Structure 1
């Protein structure tokens, strides 16, 4: 009998927690996908103002329903150079407030609508052909699973209040808040979700197995435990990202330390502002009012802690900078793309586009150097080769990042954007290869002291000018909202016609003895590579045209 009861408690807890966590994941992903572009615009509005950063952190966490996701995202932004330490810490402060909305939702006890929500969510998520409705279906389904999981956990915990060993342990927690705090921290580190562990605490307390003091201390510890996610994410990140993760831990840890001393005051304050007696016991032995009290103590702690620490944000940032010193002899990545961004695909795509702009600058610099080398008859192969190696590394890191991103639960629009980025990256890398080839052909001419006829020299310089003009105009528009119709796409056709014309001219010069075969071969190689360079630029332009037309249709 005793064994079967334990099995019932264990399976009920595991199943309830599993549904809760899966519901949280579904709801968070659905919210992120439906609000992706809006979320991106919010992130782009970050300023150095700590108060705005806190508000933004709160808003983003409310939107995606996960402080862990927000703080991990922040670590990624810092690592990518999108945010400085002060901005990151202010966002983390806000994330701590935003995450308490989940506990507030749980405390409303809307379990009666859990099953209808699951049914409606499944219909939209599985059978709707509209992507937006699918996202809304995921949100509703996640919402229903979350509350159904809470109900399952609460029912599973009911027998614990009759077990003397557990009763004694929870009484011990009530008398020893520090131990309860440590237990809450460890539990959250294991589960990797403060929302889930606060949910467990509410479920335990609602059955009558846990008193308010013990529950409050557990919640304090859960606020420490949630910082482990960001610190794990920062392990492979740069120094500033590690400092941001450390700042999150210090903010919560120091806040819990002083709040434990003032715990009786905080409990009295929350009890005074929350309707219903916290210790009221219903006929079934449950405590119907304690959930709201726990949710309010969770929210009150984070709001008070933010108000206390926000004025000292510069000091916390300096402390983090002193504790996390610069690392020596560390290899740095070429790109500012962080795997932590993958949790928010819209942000990952936005940063990828910015890095493509950097990649396009390298390709353009290589083309300009190739032209300079030919015009001045000064070898630039060393400089161009270094850029070519850098470009190859860019392409590799891009492909790795986009491959990981494509494996996430992404929308069809995001999948299409990834394909477009892959096309652009491939063509930029090939454009760099063409510039490298031209530089090597020029270098061969210089080594062998070859020279073109004046007519051939003019033709190559003119073709260079057209390709350079086309590439500059196209790549300058990439990553902007400028109208692609401002670019003269006919330049690609002009380059094609020039290659044919100049090849024919070259054959006439050969027949007339105005140039020799060796220099003629190099002439053909150079104009062929210029024509291919224009083709790669045109491919990038075509992606931009498609993206603009798609944007106009959607608007």
Structure 2
């Protein structure tokens, strides 16, 4: 085979595969923007019912067109404690069926519409004023680029049809099912996309270089290779997440194993189910014209391959769905260990879902709500410390404040990363609001730290407040704590109607702080209170007032005014 032929093949394959993957990415991102909120609601509907979980996995994967993305998300959810192992296995089973939609789409003979789709998609994306039309343009553009990439790959294989070396290689793969499974698995691991492997298989098969049986075995191997992505994502996660990834691997490996044993029967069933002879080759120009393909191509094999992919996964789900419990037990045996909950760590946000902005923002919101809860706990513990003077509480308070600081940094970094993805205007506003909330909550933690340090100074200097001062302290502390608890609860239920009440509570704290400060200054002037206790008391009042200010800022961000 000449060097020029090798170069044309390599360039055509790399370029076509690049276009295919890029088109898939643009189409997937467009679909996510259109269906982002719906997808969030679908995930929120998860229950412990394995059949519902499987349907959710199918729906989400069909929406975002990537089983790898779904399984990686599921691993992240399990790692965050948001999903049980049995739940997760159900979602993964459904995801395997959902991903077959891609193969069914690209099996249609619509390559000739690729360039018009690119033109229409670019027109909508660049010139539409309505966001919904821009997102639709992205979907159509991605669709067009995907099919154009498929066409480029197919044409790259045309010159090698006459090469004996290539025919020998593909005959070897077609005749040896185990080798074809291994090649399919390795190829999927290399390109990190089962859809791309299916695209290459379809290009080879329709060009007449692969037999139907060889294509089937490659598709089975792709189902094993796609599980590697989830297992790579599970590295460094907790035991439950690693078990989820292992379950995905076991499910597909066992499925491929029994399918290889039943290979002749499965092949016969697909051929009976799908019209046309899979290995029929176009031999005349008239046939080529009628079927809109080239001489030497196989016009019916694409639909046979797509049906193989779909039916394998549907059968696998039907067999394994009732056995989810057994699959979970097997994964538990293969991935031993106790899953210990670490108290001070990120619980919800997970960089694995950055390519799915609606889910990423949902995770950031959960982490922000957790941060608000920690701030309330920090304030409660601070008040308890100041009443009990128990210095053993200081270590826990410092850990909580350190965690609040950590959460601020990690959530902001995460939100910045999400903002750099293609996102809608609504999501951009939500990111801005969350950033404001996170920064204000971190300030609440700082003022709690100031309060307990003032309490520590009060202990070390043996300062005592008068009964009246303690009553005033408790009054302002109570109102501040009530305000923070009110806003935290509103964040959890996403209540945007709290503006008026939040303003009232903020004004009440400001007025009370000013009145108590003036009262205390008057006591200092009359000699009822000495200077050191007076200064500590006024500093404490100021810190409560600042907590109120930042809590009010959080409420403004929640209702969309920041």
- TM score, norm. by length of structure 2: 0.93
Alpha-carbon deviation of 1:474? 1.4
Alignment of 1:322-333 (within 5 A): 322-326=333-337, 333=345
Aligned counterpart, 1:445: 458
Would you say the 8 A contact 1:122–1:141 is kept in 2? yes
CA contact (8 A) 2:348 2:366 kept: no
Q: What does 1:274-289 correspond to in 2, within 5 Å?
A: 274-282=274-282, 283=284, 284-289=295-300
Whether the aligned pair in 2 keeps the contact of 1:58 and 1:95 (CA below 8 Å) is yes
Give 3-state SS (helix, strand or coil) of 2:210's partner: coil
**Mean CA deviation greater in 104-113 or 37-46:** 104-113
- Measured in 1, the distance between the counterparts of 2:175 and 2:119 equals 44
Within 5 A, what are the aligned runs for 1:383-532? 383-482=396-495, 483-485=497-499, 487-532=501-546
Map residues 267-278 of structure 1 onto 2, 5 A cutoff.
267-278=267-278
Classify 1:142/1:213 alpha carbon distance in 2 versus 1 (closer, same or farther; 3 Å).
same
Cα contact 2:62–2:98 (8 A) shared by 1: yes
Query: 1:328 Cα deviation (Å)?
Result: 9.3
In the alignment, is the contact (CA less than 8 A) between 2:345 and 2:403 conserved in 1? no
1:227-264 CA deviation, whole Å, 9 max, x = no partner? 11111111122111111111111111111111111111
Aligned-partner Cα distance in 1 for 2:341–2:88: 23
Pairing of 1:43-62 with structure 2 (within 5 A): 43-62=43-62
Residue by residue, what CA displacement relative to the aligned partner does 1:360-402 show, whole Å, maximum 9, x if unpaired?
1111122223333444555553442232122222223223322
Aligned-pair distance for 1:330? 10
Looking at structure 2, the residues matched to 107 and 451 of structure 1 have their Cα atoms a distance apart, in angstroms, of 81
- What is the alpha-carbon distance in structure 1 between the residues aligned to residue 469 and residue 63 of structure 2? 63
1:209 aligns with 2:221: no
Partner of 2:125: 125
Q: What is the CA deviation profile of residues 296-342 of structure 1, one whole-angstrom value per residue up to 9, with x for unaligned ones? A: 11111111111111121111111111111227999773333211121
2:328 aligned residue (311, 317, 327):
317
Task: Using the TM superposition, give the Cα deviation of residue 54 of structure 1 relative to its aligned residue in structure 2, in angstroms.
Answer: 1.2
Distance 2:485 2:186 in 1: 56
- Give the CA RMSD over aligned residues: 2.0
Q: How does 1:107-118 map to 2 (within 5 A)?
A: 107-118=107-118
Would the alpha carbon gap of residues 85 and 430 (structure 1) be closer, same or farther in structure 2, given more than 3 Å must change?
same
* Counterparts of 1:200 and 1:458, CA distance in 2: 76
Query: Post-superposition shift, 1:60?
Result: 0.9
Q: Kindly tell me the number of residue pairs found equivalent between the two proteins.
A: 548
1:453-479 Cα deviation digits (max 9, x unpaired):
333333222211221221121111112
Query: Mind listing any 5+ residue stretches in structure 1 that lack a counterpart?
Result: 551-555
Question: Within 2, Cα distance between the matches of 1:422 and 1:361?
Answer: 17
How far apart, CA to CA, are the structure 1 residues paired with 2:270 and 2:213? 11
> Secondary structure in 1 aligned to 2:109?
coil
Q: For residues 435 and 178 of structure 1, do their structure 2 counterparts lie closer, same or farther at Cα, with a shift above 3 Å needed?
A: same
Residues 79 and 329 (structure 1), Cα distance of their counterparts in 2 relative to 1, 3 Å cut: closer
**More displaced, 407-416 or 6-15?**
407-416
1:30-109 alignment to 2 at 5 Å? 30-109=30-109
In structure 2, distance between residues paired with 1:308 and 1:368: 52
Shift of 1:344: 1.2
What residue is the counterpart of 2:291 in the other structure? none
Give the secondary-structure state (helix, strand or coil) at the position aligned to 1:449.
coil
Instruction: Report which stretch shifted further, 322-331 or 147-156.
Output: 322-331
Given that 2:281 and 2:297 are in contact with CA atoms closer than 8 Å, whether structure 1 keeps it comes out as yes
Q: State how far apart, in whole Å, the 2-side matches of 1:129 and 1:81 are.
A: 41
> CA contact under 8 A between 1:278 and 1:287: conserved in structure 2?
yes
Partner Cα distance (1:385, 1:333) in 2: 15
**Mapped partners of 1:20, 1:394: distance in 2:** 38
Structure 1 residue aligned with 2:555: 541
Secondary structure, aligned partner of 2:521? helix
Q: What does residue 287 of structure 2 align with? A: none
Q: Which moved more, 1:306-315 or 1:448-457?
A: 448-457
Could you tell me which residue of structure 2 aligns to residue 142 of structure 1?
142
CA change 1:220–1:488 in 2 (3 A) is closer
Partners of 1:5 and 1:387 lie apart in 2 by 65
Structure 1 contact 231–242 (Cα < 8 Å) conserved = yes
Match of 1:357 in 2: 369
Q: 3-state DSSP class of the match of 2:58?
A: helix
